[in-house]
């Protein structure tokens, strides 16, 4: 597991070098912190853990390219999640845009009995300055598991430079359904952004019958806190 993560880290560094070769249309964010439960599609993949992550975005004439990764280190098994996205605005106006994004994510499990898997997804988002709705579909080819999700969020500026983002999401997956509500609070200080995220999640996932999550979340509170740096 650790050797695979080392290879992925090297590949990531190459991608970051490419993204920052033209700083005018690219961005890179690195982050670190602690999460009480790491969630994937509304189910828990890891118990409380520190994490390090990155997200890079590069805009071209025809497509926006993104790469991202999250590593949850452990003394025995490192868990990681690595993604690639390709997206573009289908319709643009003065008030917003309709965006379509395709993604692929490799989940490298660090938990015994939870398999590694590869997930593909497509997301349609109506960007605007008020309330942003979206729908997305996902399918994991290794778990043979598909589902649909829909949600809304709003980015709201607060006094003293703080930003708050409330969101809600509902998902129906073949083996479970899930509802969640989340509140993210951040305070950018130039390129450094401290943040805290608190979410409430309820799913009917049965850990006795399926092996791709650690626990059932029955109205549980999940907390993530950390610092991100934008380049």
In contact, 41 and 32? CB cutoff 8 Å: no
Question: pLDDT: is 65 or 13 the higher one?
Answer: 65
CA 210 to chain centre: 22
Reading the block at residue 131, the tokens are 């309330």
Give CA–CA dist 80/211, Å, rounded: 17
pLDDT in tens, 33-64: 999 999 999 988 887 889 999 999 999 888 99
Q: Can you give 59-121 as a three-state secondary structure string?
A: ECCCCEEEEEEEEECCCCCCEEEEEEEEEEEEEECCCEEEEEEEEEEEEECCCCCCCCEEEEE
Residue 7's pLDDT is what? Answer: 46
Q: Which CATH architecture has domain 2-230?
A: Beta Barrel (2.40)
pLDDT in tens, 7-16: 445 445 555 5
61 Cβ contact partners less than 8 Å away, ≥ 6 residues apart: none
Reading the block at residue 57, the tokens are 């975005």
Mean predicted confidence (pLDDT) in 53-82: 87
Task: Record the pTM.
Answer: 0.86
pLDDT in tens, 160-185: 999 999 999 999 999 899 999 999 99
């Amino acid at each position: 597991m650790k050797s695979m993560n080392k290879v992925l880290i090297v590949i990531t560094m190459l991608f970051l070098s490419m993204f920052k070769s033209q700083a005018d249309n690219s961005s890179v964010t690195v982050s670190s912190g602690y999460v009480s439960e790491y969630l994937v599609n509304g189910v828990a993949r890891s118990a409380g853990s520190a994490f390090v992550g990155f997200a890079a975005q590069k805009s071209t004439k025809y497509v926006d390219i993104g790469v991202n990764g999250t590593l949850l280190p452990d003394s025995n098994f490192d868990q990681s999640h690595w993604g690639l996205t390709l997206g573009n605005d289908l319709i643009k106006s003065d008030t917003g845009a309709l965006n379509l994004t395709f993604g692929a994510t490799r989940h490298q499990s660090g938990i015994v009995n939870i398999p590694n898997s590869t997930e593909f997804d497509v997301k349609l988002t109506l960007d605007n300055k008020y309330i942003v709705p979206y729908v997305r579909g996902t399918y994991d080819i290794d778990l043979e598991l598909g589902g649909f999700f829909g949600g809304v969020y709003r980015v709201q500026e607060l006094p003293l430079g703080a930003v708050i983002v409330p969101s809600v999401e509902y998902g129906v997956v073949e083996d479970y359904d899930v509802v969640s509500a989340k509140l993210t609070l951040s305070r950018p200080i130039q390129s450094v952004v401290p943040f805290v995220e608190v979410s409430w999640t309820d799913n009917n996932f049965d850990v006795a019958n399926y092996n791709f999550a650690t626990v059932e979340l029955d109205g549980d509170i999940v907390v993530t806190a950390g610092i991100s740096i934008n380049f």
